[in-house]
Amino acid sequence: MRKLLIATALALTTAPAFAAELAIGTRLGTTEQAITAALTEMGWEVRKLDAEDGMIEAYAMMGDTMAEIYADPTTGEVTRISDEA
């Protein structure tokens, strides 16, 4: 039981660190599959991908935060992030 509590505490304290890795200019990839893999590795749960205004838009969740993440399909870089808690 003690190990479970320690693991849970560590997971809760490290979640914001994952979110800090995502910023404008972060390279995620140029395909939907690469973007999904990169966001998942950072701790995001990708719910949906769309194409909008020439960008790949990912709707992703981390904890109680939902974010719309826009990536340029030619460079793979994040161009915009909008989040809601």
Where exactly are the structural domains of the chain? 2-84
CATH fold for domain 2-84: Nuclear Transport Factor 2; Chain: A, (3.10.450)
Q: Which residues pair with 77 in a beta bridge?
A: 27
Contacts of 65 (CB under 8 A, 6+ apart): 19, 83, 84, 85
Q: In Å, how far from its chain's centre is CA 63?
A: 11
Cβ atoms 11, 54 nearer than 8 A: no
- What are the pLDDT tens digits along the chain (85 aa)? 555 445 444 444 444 444 448 999 999 999 999 999 999 999 999 999 999 889 999 999 999 999 999 999 999 999 999 987 5
Q: Within 13 A of 59's CA, how many CA atoms are on the CB side?
A: 6
Contacts of 84 (CB under 8 A, 6+ apart): 65, 66, 67
